[in-house]
Structure 1
Amino acid sequence: MQEAKKKTSLKAKVQKLGTSLSSMVMPNIAAIIAWGLITAIFMEQGWFPNAHIAKLITPMLTYLLPLLIGYVGGRMVYEERGAVVGAIATMGVVVGAKVPMFLGAMIMGPLGGWCIKKFDQLFQDKIRSGFEMIYNNFSSGILGMLLAILGTYVVNPLVVAGSNFMSKGVDFIISIHMLPLANIFIEPAKVLFLNNAIGNGILVPLGIQQASTAGKSVLFLLESNPGPGLGILLAFMFFGKGSAKGSAPGAAIIHFFGGIHEIYFPYILMKPALILAAIAGGVSGTFTFQLLGAGLKAAASPGSIIAILLMTPKGSYLAVLSGVFVAAVVSFLVASVILKHDKSTGDDLAEKQAEMEAMKAESKGKEMPSSQAAQDSVDSYADVKKIIFACDAGMGSSAMGASLLRDKVKKAGIKDISVTNTAVNRLKDEQGLLVVTQEELAERALQRTPSAMHVSVDNFLSSPKYDEIVANLKALSQIQDKPQATENTVKTAEAGDLGNVDFTKVEEVNFIRHDQHIGTVTMATSLFSDSMKKANKQTPIKAVRINELEDSDKHLVIVTAAAKKNLAVRYTDIQTVVVDDLLTDKKLQDVVAKLK
C-alpha cells in the first residue's frame, strides 16, 4: 500500500500535462489510422489510386481529427457538456486554418470544457425547476459560440504562427541531420512512463502536420521504433541471468509484435546502465531512418512492427525495416557488453521486489504482522467491489496487468469482483474501488480517487502484490461464507494432534518464510529435508511466502502457533502441524514418519 504525498511534485505535474495532451490523442488513434490507411491506399501515389475515395483525405485531416480531439479534450474536463462545448470551440480554430489544427484542438477542447464547468458552478444551482433544459442547451450554445469566435480571431492566428515556427524548426533539425539526438531525451523519458505523452502529445501532432504536406513523416518513428527495446531483450536472452533471462523471450515477442513497449522498462530499471543501450539504439535507428528517407503515413499505435508496416507508404519498407534492424543491433551490442560485466545473480524480478519491500520494512523496525494485523489486512478489503488498473494511457501494460489479476481472481473462485483498466486521468472517485497503479503514477491516482483503496506496483506484468490482493479477497470471502472454519482450524492445529492430518493427501510440505526469520526457516527446511532423505521419503519440501500457498489439503504447512494465526485468516483447506520450535520439536520426526 502506498500513501501519496499531499503536495504535487514537479514530476507529477509534468506527467499530468503530458498525459493530458496524450489522452486527447489516444482515444482517436483509430481515426488517425483510418485517415492514414485511406491516404496510403487511395491517394494518387498510393497502392490503389482512387480519386473519388481520396476526397476523404483532406476533410478528415482538416475537420474530423481536430474536432474529435477537441471533443475528447472537453470531455476530459467536464463529461458530455464539456465535450460538446469543446467541439464547438474547436471549430473556431479549424475554419480557415492553413495547417492541421491539432494543437489548436488541444487548447480549445479543454478550454471549452473548463468554461462550461465554471459557468455551471456559478449558475446551475440557481435555475428553477422546469427550466433546466433551456439552461443546459442555451448556456452550452452561447458559450460555445463565444469560444468559437475567440478561436477564430485569437487562438487560430497564434496556433498557426506557432505551428509554422515548430514546423520550420523540425525541418531545420532534419536538414542538418540532428534529429537523431532527440532520442537522447526520448528513450529515458519512455522508461519514466512518459512515452505516451511524448509520442501522442508532441510527435504525433507534428508528424501529421508534416505528413499532410510531405506525404510521410519520420516523427512517427521516433518513439514507436521497437528496435531499441528488442535489442535489450535479445541481450537478456543470451547474456542475462536467472528469471530475467527466462522471461526475456516472451517479453520480446509481446514487445515487438504486440507493440507494448512498457514490458522492457523493468529490465532497464533493474539495471539502469542499460539506458545507454536504449539511447544508442534509438539514435542509430533514427539516423538510419533519416539517411534513407524513411517515414510513416500516420501514427503507428501501438508501436508494433505490424502497425508500423501497415502505416509505411509504398516504396519505404526497406528504409523503415533498416532503421528498426539497426536500432535493434546497436542496442543489443551495447546491452550485451553491460550484461557480460554484470555481477548480479539475476534473481526473479518479483522476488527482488518483494525482498526490497521487506528490507524497507526491516530498516524501519517493522515486525512480522500479528494475527490482528493480518485480520486488519483482510478487513481492509471488505468494501472492494471493483478493481481498476490505471496507467498513463489506459492501454498496453495496464490491460495486461488487469488480465493477469483477472485470471488469478477467477482461479481463486472469487465472484462479484470486476477487474478492468483505464487511463489514470479518467479515474472517477467512488466507494468500493481498488486502484492498482505503477509507483510513478500513484500520486496522481490518489488525487483523482481519494476515497478508493490504492496499491502501487513496480511492474504491471510481474508483482507479488497481486497474490496479496487475491489472498485477502479470498480470505474475506471464506470468512464470510464459513465463519466457523477459521476458529475450528486454529483449535485443531494448536492441539497438535497429528491424527487430524490426512497424510495420504499431502503432496508438498511447506515452511512459511518471512523476512524477520529467513535464517531460521532456511535451516528448518534444510534439516527437515535431510530427515526426509534419510527416511527415503519423496514428498517435496519448500519454504514459501505466506501469499504463495494454494489453499488445498495437498499442502501440509509446519508452523509455530503465532504464525498459524496468520494462516487462519487466509486459508481454510490447507493442513497444518503446529510446533513449538521449527528446529528441535520432536513432533517433526513424527511428521517425517507419516509422510510418503
Structure 2
Amino acid sequence: MSHQGRGIKVRVQKFGNFLSSMVMPNIGAFIAWGLITALFIEAGWFPNEELASLVDPMVKYLLPLLIGYTGGKLVYDTRGGVVGAIATMGVIVGAEIPMFLGAMVMGPIGGWVIKKFDSLIEGKIKTGFEMLVNNFSSGILGGILAVLSYLLVGPGVSVLTGWLVTGVEWMLGIGVLPLTSILIEPAKILFLNNAINHGVLSPIGIEQVKQTGESILFLLEANPGPGIGVLLAYCFFGRGTAKQTAPGASIIHFFGGIHEIYFPYVLMNPLLLIAVILGGISGVFTLSVLGGGLVAPSSPGSFLAILAVTPSGNYFANIAGVLVAAIVSLVISSIILKTSKANEGNIEEASQKMQEMKGKKSSVASALSSAKEANGEFNPKDINHIIFACDAGMGSSAMGASLLRKKVKEAGLNMKVTNTAISNLPNDAKLVITQEELTPRARQKVPNAYHISVDNFLSSPKYDELIHRLITEDVVKEESKDEEVDHSPSTNQDVLRKENIFLNKQFSSKEEAIRFAGRALADGGYVDESYIEAMIERDNITTTYMGNDVAIPHGTDEAKKSVKNSGVTIIQVPEGIDYDGQKVRLIFGIAGKDGGHLEILSAIAITCSEMENVEKMATAKTADEILSIIGASFEK
C-alpha cells in the first residue's frame, strides 16, 4: 500500500473512532429506549399505548441530543457540548426522522465553532465581563447554528435518508441485502460500526418498524455471529497468547456485546476478513429467508440484547441468523488459521495496531521516547512531582522511588519523587510510574496523569530516559532537597536484624519461599499470622519480582493493619528459584509501618540496582557480609 493510501486509511480509522466515541457513552440511553420499545409498542411484549408514548420523544429528541452534546464535548469539553446540543436541536426539528446522523454532524461542528471563537477572544475580555461574554457567545453562536441546521442540514439528511431507504427497499426486493456485509464487516474494523449502525441503519430501521413492527436492518451490523466465529477458531487453532485470551474475549464479545474485542484477532491475520464477510452474508441471508428482525437497535451488539428486542414471533429466525453466521465464520476462520503461516499469536502487537487505528497508544512502553500519551503531549516543564505506585505502596514502589530519587539528585533536578499505594494516588498527579500489570488500575484512578509502565524496578531503562527527557527540555535545575530521614543505627537494627538473614536456602516453589519469608517476619514479631496469606495474595495480583535476580514479597494494602512494626528479612537462594519465569537468588520479605522500613528498602534498591552487588550478596558466606554491602548504600 502506498504512503498516501496508508494515510487515507488511518484518517478513516480515526474518523470512525471519533464517530464511535459519540455513541458509546450513550449506549445506556439506547438500551433504555430499546427496552421500552420492545415492551410497550403495539407489536411488543406488553402493548401499552400510554407507556409507548415515550418511544417517539426518546428516539427523536433524547438520543440525538445526547449524541450531539457528546460530540461537542469531545471537541471542546462542556462548553462545546452545550453548543453542540443547541445546534443539534435545529437538525432534529428540521427533519421528520430521527437525526442520529445529523447529530453526529452538528454536535462536533458546534464544539468546533465555540472553540474557535474562544481562541479568537482569548485575553481580550475585560475583567468582570468573562461570564457575560461566555454565556452570550455560546447562546448566540448556538442559536445561529440551530437555525442553519434547521434550514439546511435537517432537510439534507432527510433527503439522503430517503435515498438510502429506497436503496434498502430495492436491495430487499431483489434479494441482495446480504451483500451489504461486504462493506459492513470491513467497515467495523475501521471503527465505523457505530456510524453505520446508529447513523444510517437505525433511522431507516425505525421507519420500517413504524410500518411493519420490526426491521432486519438492526441486525446487519449488530449480529455477533461473524465475530464469535473468529474467536472460537482461535480457541481451537490459535497459538500463543491469542489462543489463551480468545475464550475470555469470546464471552465478552458474545454476551457483553463489545465487538471491538475481536478486531485485533482479525488484524493479526487480515485473511480473516473473508471469514467475517462470508459469515455476515450467510447470517443476513438466513434472516431474510426466515423473516428475522428486531423492534429496536441492539445496543450493544450482544446476543442477550438481541433477544431482549426480538419480537415474540422472531426468536427462531434471529437465533438461526446468529448461529449460521457463527458457523460459517468459524469454519472459514479455522481453515485460514490452520493453513496460514501468519498466525503467530501476537495479540499484543495486533492490539497496538488497533489502538493506533483508534488514534490512541496501546501502552506507555515508549511514552518517554515519543513524548506523547493518550491524553496529549508529554511536557516535562509541567512535571515537578513523580509518583511511584504499587498495590500496597510499601514495597516495589518504594524501591523504584529510591532509585529515581537518587538519579534525580545526581542530575541536579528540582523534582520531588515519592511512592504510594494506587488507592491513595492524588487526583492532581501528573506523572505516575507503575508495574505493567498495575498500570490499568493506576490509569483508572488518575486518568489525566501521564502513566509509565516498567517491568523491572531495579534496572529499567525508563529511568534514564525520563532523566534525559527532563534535562533536554530545559527543566529548571536546582539542588534537590531530600526529605529528612532518620538514619539512626538503632532504627536500622530494629528493622533488619542479623538473625533475619538466611543463607543457602532452597525452595521447591515460589509460594514456599514467600511463606518462609512471611513466617520469618511473623516469628520476628513484625506481623500477625494473617500477613503471610496476604503476601501470597499480593504476589497473585502482580509479581513481586523486581529484576536483577531480586524479589520483594510483601502484603496487600489491606494487610497493613496486620503489621506491628516495620521489618525486613533477607533470604539467600544461591541456586535460584523460578519466580514467574524469572530466576531469583535474593528474596527480601517486607513489612512496613509508618515508613520505618523505607531507609532499609532504599538501601536495598540502590544496592541491588548494581548486578555486581547482587552477585556478592547471592554468594556471601555470612550475614555480616550482606549487611556490610547494604550498609554502604546508606552513605550514598
SS in 2 for 1:126: coil
Q: CA distance change for structure 1 residues 115 and 263 in 2, over 3 Å: closer, same or farther?
A: closer
- Distance in 2, Cα, partners of 1:378 & 1:156: 45
Kindly indicate whether residue 504 of structure 2 is the aligned counterpart of residue 503 of structure 1: yes
- Distance in 1, Cα, partners of 2:178 & 2:74: 34
> How far does residue 264 in structure 1 lie from its aligned partner after superposition?
3.0
Structure 1 counterpart of 2:58, one-letter code: M
Pick the aligned partner of 2:166 from 151, 165, 168.
Answer: 168
- Give per-residue Cα distances to partners, 1:314-349, cap 9 Å, x unaligned: 2211111001100111112212323343568x7664
- Give per-residue Cα distances to partners, 1:259-303, cap 9 Å, x unaligned: 233333333333333332222211111111222222223332332
- Distance in 1, Cα, partners of 2:309 & 2:98: 19
- Give per-residue Cα distances to partners, 1:342-392, cap 9 Å, x unaligned: 568x766469999x9xxxxxxxxxxxxxxxxxxxx99969x99xx9799xx
Report the equivalent of 1:495: none
- Distance in 2, Cα, partners of 1:435 & 1:469: 9
Contact 2:548-2:611 within 8 A present in 1 as well: no
Report the equivalent of 2:92: 94
Contact 1:92-1:149 within 8 A present in 2 as well: yes
Report the equivalent of 1:137: 135
SS in 2 for 1:272: coil
Pick the aligned partner of 1:185 from 183, 187, 198.
Answer: 183
Aligned length: 451
Report the equivalent of 2:73: 75
> How far does residue 114 in structure 1 lie from its aligned partner after superposition?
2.0
Structure 1 counterpart of 2:503, one-letter code: D
Report the equivalent of 1:314: 312
Contact 1:71-1:84 within 8 A present in 2 as well: yes
> How far does residue 47 in structure 1 lie from its aligned partner after superposition?
0.8
Report the equivalent of 1:118: 116
The TM-score with structure 2 as length reference comes to 0.59
Report the equivalent of 1:37: 35
Report the equivalent of 1:296: 294
- Distance in 1, Cα, partners of 2:391 & 2:185: 32
Kindly indicate whether residue 333 of structure 2 is the aligned counterpart of residue 332 of structure 1: no
Pick the aligned partner of 1:215 from 213, 216, 236.
Answer: 213
Q: How does 1:120-519 map to 2 (within 5 A)?
A: 120-241=118-239, 244-342=242-340, 349=346, 415-417=420-422, 431-432=430-431, 467=455, 502-504=503-505, 506-507=507-508
Structure 2 counterpart of 1:503, one-letter code: N
Q: CA distance change for structure 1 residues 419 and 59 in 2, over 3 Å: closer, same or farther?
A: farther
Unpaired stretches in structure 2, ≥5 consecutive residues: 354-364, 377-388, 398-418, 437-446, 465-481, 486-500, 511-544, 554-570, 586-603, 622-636
> How far does residue 503 in structure 1 lie from its aligned partner after superposition?
2.8
- Distance in 1, Cα, partners of 2:215 & 2:332: 28
SS in 1 for 2:271: helix
Unpaired stretches in structure 1, ≥5 consecutive residues: 357-376, 391-404, 421-428, 438-448, 456-464, 484-499, 510-543, 561-566, 580-584, 588-596
Contact 1:180-1:284 within 8 A present in 2 as well: yes
- Distance in 1, Cα, partners of 2:424 & 2:200: 31
> How far does residue 468 in structure 1 lie from its aligned partner after superposition?
6.4
- Distance in 1, Cα, partners of 2:147 & 2:101: 17
Structure 2 counterpart of 1:73, one-letter code: G
The TM-score with structure 1 as length reference comes to 0.62
> How far does residue 545 in structure 1 lie from its aligned partner after superposition?
12
Contact 2:393-2:421 within 8 A present in 1 as well: no
- Distance in 2, Cα, partners of 1:406 & 1:202: 46
Identify which of structures 1 and 2 has the higher relative contact order when contacts are C-alpha pairs closer than 8 Å and 6+ apart: 1
> How far does residue 13 in structure 1 lie from its aligned partner after superposition?
1.8
Q: CA distance change for structure 1 residues 113 and 244 in 2, over 3 Å: closer, same or farther?
A: closer
Report the equivalent of 2:59: 61
Contact 2:19-2:194 within 8 A present in 1 as well: no
Contact 1:295-1:312 within 8 A present in 2 as well: yes
State the Cα RMSD in Å. Answer: 5.1
Q: CA distance change for structure 1 residues 235 and 141 in 2, over 3 Å: closer, same or farther?
A: closer
- Distance in 2, Cα, partners of 1:144 & 1:56: 27
> How far does residue 210 in structure 1 lie from its aligned partner after superposition?
4.3
- Distance in 2, Cα, partners of 1:297 & 1:547: 61
Structure 2 counterpart of 1:502, one-letter code: L
Structure 2 counterpart of 1:252, one-letter code: S
Q: CA distance change for structure 1 residues 412 and 148 in 2, over 3 Å: closer, same or farther?
A: same
Q: CA distance change for structure 1 residues 243 and 68 in 2, over 3 Å: closer, same or farther?
A: closer
- Distance in 2, Cα, partners of 1:323 & 1:187: 15
Contact 2:548-2:614 within 8 A present in 1 as well: no
Contact 1:559-1:578 within 8 A present in 2 as well: no
Q: CA distance change for structure 1 residues 481 and 247 in 2, over 3 Å: closer, same or farther?
A: farther
Contact 2:209-2:295 within 8 A present in 1 as well: yes
Q: CA distance change for structure 1 residues 470 and 182 in 2, over 3 Å: closer, same or farther?
A: farther
